[in-house]
Structure 1
Amino acid sequence: MSTIRITKQFSFETGHALYGYDGKCKNVHGHSYKLSVTVVGTPISDTSNVKYGMVIDFGDLKKIVKEEIVDVFDHATVFNKNTPHIELAKELQVRGHHVILVDYQPTSEMMIIDFAAKIRQHLPETIQLHSLKLQETDTSYAEWYASDNS
């Protein structure tokens, strides 16, 4: 049986600020992120399996990514908890805002590393995460490939 890659795309809105950065992104701002998740596997060959012919049901992949990434990050503001932004984060939380504190600079590069780890933990053993693409703007994105990170 052939090895096949399948991709599902997601979108979510997230705010962030890059503490210590020397450009505009030091200010709190947001992006309409687009996340493409590609997994690789062999289509199920058991004709009695309801998912016969699928590498993974797109609905199952969607459930993983929505629970681990989209539902968590959508309409949240992300700050590095190891910076003075922690004070701003606390103030926003007190005022009822959805804030995520991470232990990294919330760049697309670092977020995609975090996303890869979270998605990998929940994939079935027969499915491998192949790649992620996190698009921050129409012209800027980060990519993560399993082959670069083994």
Structure 2
Amino acid sequence: MMQQIYPSVAHPFRYELNKDFQFAAAHYVPSELAGKCSRVHGHTYFVNLTIAGNELDQTGFLVDFSAVKKLIHDRFDHTLLNEHAAFFSDEDPARFPTTEIVAKTIGELIQAYLDQTENKPKCVQVFLRETPTSYVVYRPFAGGAYDR
């Protein structure tokens, strides 16, 4: 895993957890406008999740590191992202598996999991590196719209 300093996100919470992990996956962007990216190709995606909250759970964790990693890694590692029809579509440009949409999808999956926990922390940032020189930062609560 490459050591990285990630952009930080301002938030009103007491605790902040960051989790790094990676997964290998292939994808293509189903548009002629995507150039070479319209052909099937693969990446080793590097992910950094920033999760924040005010309350710890009954074990003293904000969230279990391994649970959030498994949620994404076990689902997407060594797969063709386009085949995950619940998340991505070859017909709808808003659901093409671009790095931006993959980062948003990761954020939504993580938040759905967090919403089921007792202490309900928030996923405040997803940093997704697709190549050594390209990454996306997705912030689900841009503008500070935290509901807790």
- Same fold? TM cut 0.5: yes
Q: 1:20 aligns with which of 21, 31, 46?
A: 31
Shift of 1:130: 1.3
1:100 has 2:84 as partner: yes
- Structure 2 residue runs without a partner (length 5+): 1-12, 90-94
Shift of 1:19: 1.2
Deviates more, 1:138-147 or 1:24-33: 138-147
The residue that corresponds to 1:131 in the other structure is 125
1:11 has 2:22 as partner: yes
Quick one: structure 1 residues 73 and 50, their matched pair in 2 at CA, closer, same or farther if it must change by over 3 Å?
closer
More strand by share: 1
Give the TM-score of the pair, scaled to structure 1.
0.71
2:48 maps to a residue whose letter is S
The residue that corresponds to 1:95 in the other structure is none
The residue that corresponds to 1:148 in the other structure is 142
Q: Contact between 2:104 and 2:140, CA under 8 Å: does it hold in 1?
A: no
Give the TM-score of the pair, scaled to structure 2.
0.72
The residue that corresponds to 1:121 in the other structure is 112
Q: 1:29 aligns with which of 11, 28, 41?
A: 41
SS of match in other structure, 1:18 = coil
Q: Contact between 2:28 and 2:37, CA under 8 Å: does it hold in 1?
A: yes
Shift of 1:34: 0.5
Quick one: structure 1 residues 43 and 139, their matched pair in 2 at CA, closer, same or farther if it must change by over 3 Å?
same
1:63-78 pair list within 5 angstroms: 63-67=67-71, 69-78=72-81
Determine what percentage of the aligned residue pairs are the same residue.
27
2:140 maps to a residue whose letter is A
Greater gyration radius? 1
Q: 1:111, 1:25 → 2: CA distance?
A: 14
Q: How many residues of Structure 1 are paired with residues of Structure 2 in the alignment?
A: 121
- Structure 1 residue runs without a partner (length 5+): 80-98
Q: 1:148, 1:31 → 2: CA distance?
A: 27
1:55 has 2:62 as partner: yes
